Chain A
Amino acid sequence: EDKVVQSPLSLVVHEGDTVTLNCSYEVTNFRSLLWYKQEKKAPTFLFMLTSSGIEKKSGRLSSILDKKELFSILNITATQTGDSAVYLCAVGAPYSGGGADGLTFGKGTHLIIQP
């Protein structure tokens, strides 16, 4: 069975801190790893990673994938209260029973940024 494990499950930091969120996976037929941000309602897509070692960046957020060690990290620098959310990691693997995208989601990391 495909598995995606995120750590930590929750994290409280102060504004301005840098945080690193972890996602490890065990899937067959790996195709991609995705990060989403879920505030109070719908998840929104952040990044998709398919190749090891290539960093994806969007403003203060960045992510990198290690396909040899089967993990990814999501970094957020100079955190702001608006970064408070649940961050979901998902792995796409075709024909894993997850539908057209074959996505398996982790439980998420609940990040709280205190002023």
Chain B
Amino acid sequence: NAGVTQTPKFRILKIGQSMTLQCAQDMNHNYMYWYRQDPGMGLKLIYYSVGAGITDKGEVPNGYNVSRSTTEDFPLRLELAAPSQTSVYFCASRLSGSRVGELFFGEGSRLTVL
């Protein structure tokens, strides 16, 4: 059981570069989320999707974009990376009929912007 798979696990970017964090789940979950976790802080929601073709902003969407062309994949795009985007990024998913918050998380992608 792969669950939620995130790539890459680690990445260093220079200011102004762009990159895409990949997230894939094989559980046929329709809800998918991107969170960021800064040191000593709680998780903040960046974007979420309730199904293929449907995405919406979370609490901290600025500087990011997402797409959801399939049920399985939910990539997060960072345009013009800034030091403030240094964080650990978690992708999560759940089935729409499951309990609210009963999320399955990926192992995280640690991004450093220098």
B residues apposed to A, CB below 8 Å: 4, 31, 33, 40-45, 48, 50, 56, 58-59, 90, 94, 99-103, 105-108
Interchain CB contact under 8 A, B102 and A103: no
Contact pick for A105, options B42, B50, B102, CB 8 Å: B42
Known: A88-B42, A97-B59. Contact between A45 and B31, CB under 8 A? no
Interchain CB contact under 8 A, B103 and A45: yes
Q: How many residues of A contact B (CB 8 A)?
A: 26
Complex Cα distance, B108 from A37, in Å, reads 15
Chain A residue nearest to B40 in the complex (CB): A107
Interchain CB contact under 8 A, B108 and A42: yes
Q: Judge whether A8 is part of the interface by a CB distance below 8 angstroms.
A: no
- Mark interface residues in A82-103 (1 if CB within 8 Å of B CB, else 0): 0000001010100001111111
Taking CB atoms, residues of chain A closer than 8 Å to B40 are 9, 107
Chain B residue nearest to A99 in the complex (CB): B48
Known: A45-B102, A98-B58, A101-B100. Contact between A108 and B42, CB under 8 A? yes
Q: Judge whether A67 is part of the interface by a CB distance below 8 angstroms.
A: no
For the A-B complex with A41-B108, A99-B56, A101-B31 known, give 4 more contacts whose Cβ atoms are closer than 8 Å: A9-B40, A90-B43, A99-B48, A107-B40
